[in-house]
């Protein structure tokens, strides 16, 4: 890990600094679903109170935000003495692209303002230190919490070696995902279901349990396709996935992984059909999920969407592995003590004294309300 950068003065936060960094964060968000496993980054170049260039990291393997912003400048010579606003510490190493610190130094800036330090081991303060050593005023921490919120999945993958877990379900006003007869299609409307496909197309994987794979026989593809082709994942200790299932029959439309502790002829036949078999310990649901998510992290996955069923969501909840919830609430009532709720299992014995999640967004899709909540960490 790189040593800490030299001590810096507390950034002189101004309304202009926050204004331009807000714009840089807006640009960064445009890369969602296309840049992973890289972070989303935006950059704005300002001189004499005017934007002279801006850009964002638009695609994994493509130019980083700083280089995109520099490329947008009409008169490259005229930006000497400008201030660069970047949502994440500029990289100082060669990866798929050259170091961003090189292009910043080339432009001879007067100041570089950074929202947050990049904890990636090959950066981790090195970019800030390099710019400071060149005599450039560097301020870090402007809208830092906003930048951290934007790239929470990237940070989780670095810190915990696993992807960000989004749990999704649709329920009625009285909190039911199915009637007492287990009828569930459809609770939400077509507009909500279309939004789910949009989310799938921005995620690296869509995960269900063996029961859901067997009962619902889903395809789990994004329709229409999004910027990513999600891996379809089934987690089943016993290996519940039929050769004739839609998942196996559509193997050409996207990878299918089966996390299982089982072996034998059925598992071998699935492997022969193109399913990637991923062994899990089978000792406990928590250990199995942790093992599966580490495997996903090793494959470079940043965001995964868990679509159920109730027992799988219960296992994620019990293992404290839900980072974000997407809940679609339909204006319907079904009632019944035997009707299913979204998260099964034993649940908690007592109501928590404080909420574990905080709401970050409310949207409407047709008659339905969508709530997005993130885990407080």
213 is in an annotated binding site: no
Q: Is 170 annotated as a binding residue?
A: yes
Residue (of 174, 202, 171) closest to 187 by Cα position: 171
User: Is 66 one of the annotated active-site residues of the chain?
Assistant: yes
CA distance 31 to 42: 9
Is 164 a known ligand-binding residue?
no
Q: Is 346 assigned a ligand-binding role in the annotation?
A: no
216 is in an annotated binding site: yes
20 assigned ligand-binding residue: no
Write the Ramachandran bin of 289: left for phi over 0, alpha for psi from -120 to 50, otherwise beta.
alpha
Going by their DSSP bridges, the two strands 42-47 and 83-86 should be labelled as antiparallel
Q: Which of 66, 191, 287, 324 is catalytic?
A: 66
CA angle 295, 249, 177 (to 5 degrees): 70
100 is in an annotated binding site: yes
Return binding residues for substrate: 184, 200, 220, 223, 307
Return binding residues: 64, 91, 100, 170, 184, 186, 200, 212, 216, 220, 223, 307
What positions carry a catalytic annotation?
Answer: 66
């Amino acid at each position: 890990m790189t040593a800490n950068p030299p001590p810096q003065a507390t950034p002189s936060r101004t309304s202009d600094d926050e204004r331009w960094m807000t714009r840089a964060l807006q640009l960064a968000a445009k890369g969602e679903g296309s840049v992973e496993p890289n972070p989303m980054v935006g950059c704005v170049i300002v001189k004499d109170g005017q934007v002279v260039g801006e850009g964002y990291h638009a695609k994994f393997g493509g130019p980083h935000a700083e280089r995109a912003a520099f490329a947008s400048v009409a008169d490259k010579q005229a930006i000497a003495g400008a201030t660069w606003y970047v949502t994440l510490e500029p990289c100082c190493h060669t990866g798929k692209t050259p170091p961003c610190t090189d292009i910043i130094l080339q432009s001879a800036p007067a100041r570089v303002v950074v929202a947050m330090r990049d904890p990636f081991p090959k950066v981790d303060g090195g970019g800030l230190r390099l710019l400071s050593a060149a005599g450039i005023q560097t301020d870090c921490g402007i809208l830092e919490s906003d930048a951290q919120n934007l790239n929470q999945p990237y940070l989780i993958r670095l810190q915990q070696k696993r992807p960000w877990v989004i749990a999704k379900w649709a329920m009625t006003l009285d909190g039911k995902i199915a009637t007492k007869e287990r009828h569930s299609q459809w609770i939400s409307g077509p507009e909500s279901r279309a939004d789910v496909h949009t989310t799938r197309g921005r995620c690296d994987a869509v995960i269900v349990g063996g029961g859901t794979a067997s009962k619902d026989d889903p395809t789990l593809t994004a329709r229409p396709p999004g910027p990513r082709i999600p891996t379809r994942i089934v987690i089943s200790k016993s290996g519940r996935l039929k050769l004739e299932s839609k998942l196996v029959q559509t193997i050409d439309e996207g990878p299918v992984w089966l996390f299982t502790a089982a072996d034998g002829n059925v598992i071998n036949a699935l492997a022969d059909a193109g399913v990637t078999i991923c062994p899990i310990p089978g000792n406990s649901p928590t250990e199995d999920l942790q093992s599966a998510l580490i495997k996903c992290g090793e494959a470079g996955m940043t965001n995964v969407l868990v679509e159920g069923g109730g027992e799988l969501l219960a296992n994620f909840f019990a293992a404290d592995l839900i980072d974000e919830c997407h809940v679609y609430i339909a204006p319907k009532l079904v009632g019944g003590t035997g009707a299913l709720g979204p998260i099964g299992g034993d649940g908690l014995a007592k109501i928590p004294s404080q909420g574990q999640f905080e709401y970050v967004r409310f949207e409407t899709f047709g008659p339905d309300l969508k709530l997005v909540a993130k885990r407080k960490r």
